[in-house]
Amino acid sequence: MLIRAGYDIAFQCPAQISMLLQLNVHPSRVGDLRSPDVVQSDPNLAMGAYLDHFGNRVTRVDVPPGLVTFSNRFIIHDSGQPDEAPADNLLTPIARLPDEVLVFLISSRYCDSDNLTNFAWSMFGGLTGGYQRVQAICDFVHSKIRFSYPDARPTRCASDSLREGIGVCRDFAHLAVALCRCMNIPARYCTGYLGDIGVPIDPAPMDFSAWFEVFLDGRWYTFDARHNHARIGRIVMARGRDAADVAISTAFGIANLMRFEVVTVEEATAA
């Protein structure tokens, strides 16, 4: 199937600033694109790009004073298949994990697993299979946190989410990632598009979404503690240790958000 996705995001800047944007699809999905994935700006600004140490595409731009709008629309092919679940095999011992996944076992800015270790082992230590542990963590986080946009807070970390029991999709992902790391399961944070495809339409405005991936049986698998069931049509934009690594925008100065619109819909195709 084909998915049409994109965004219109505007900032008001009182002075010239530099910005970093992570608004492209992840390089691993570039082969699925059916139209260009290009960050456009109004006014038209010169932009550069690089791959960060997590393999995400990052745009660099200097923004003049005034209003600037970043926008994009693209078409991407998707398999139409729901998230794949792994077999419930025993966990891979840490000594046998690939070097590059070890960083996803360590506490990070928003996934403070060092504060949750005792709690995690008391809750999930009796479970043996990798999938069994991860799904139990998803079930717990899904029931523990109440989704609420008005209660979003950019400084909330995983232990805060556990204590407060409220948050948005990034908080669900942060708590699940932290608990997985406590249980010696490499886990990484993901952000991207997730439209209402194959599920009832959510009347709330569309937003980017957050989920997470765990390393089991030699590869990464997708999990989503907020929705807690397999979904269709995820388009990953960036992966990292937590939300600090995959910020949609980072402004080195004042940039007041004036507009934020995200589009993710299944594209009608000819019969």
pLDDT at 253: 97
Q: What is the pLDDT of residue 29?
A: 97
Residue 171, pLDDT score: 98
CATH class of 94-243: alpha beta
What pLDDT score was predicted for residue 122?
97
**CATH number of the 2-79+248-266 domain:** 2.60.40.2250
| pLDDT tens profile 57-104 | 999 999 999 999 999 999 999 999 999 999 888 889 999 999 999 999
Residue with tokens 């407060």: 164
Question: For the chain, where do the domains classified as CATH 3.10.620.30 start and end?
Answer: 94-243
Q: Which residues of the chain have pLDDT under 50?
A: 271
Report pLDDT for 271.
Answer: 45
pLDDT, position 140:
98
User: What's the pTM?
Assistant: 0.95
- DSSP-derived secondary structure for 235-270: EEEEEESSGGGS-SEEESS--EEEEEEEEEEEPP--
Please tell me the distance from the alpha carbon of residue 28 to that of residue 4, in angstroms, as a whole number.
18
What pLDDT score was predicted for residue 74? 98
CATH 2.60.40.2250 residue window(s) in the chain:
2-79+248-266
CA 44, CA 25: separation in Å to the nearest integer? Answer: 21
Rounded Cα gap, residues 229 and 125, in angstroms: 23
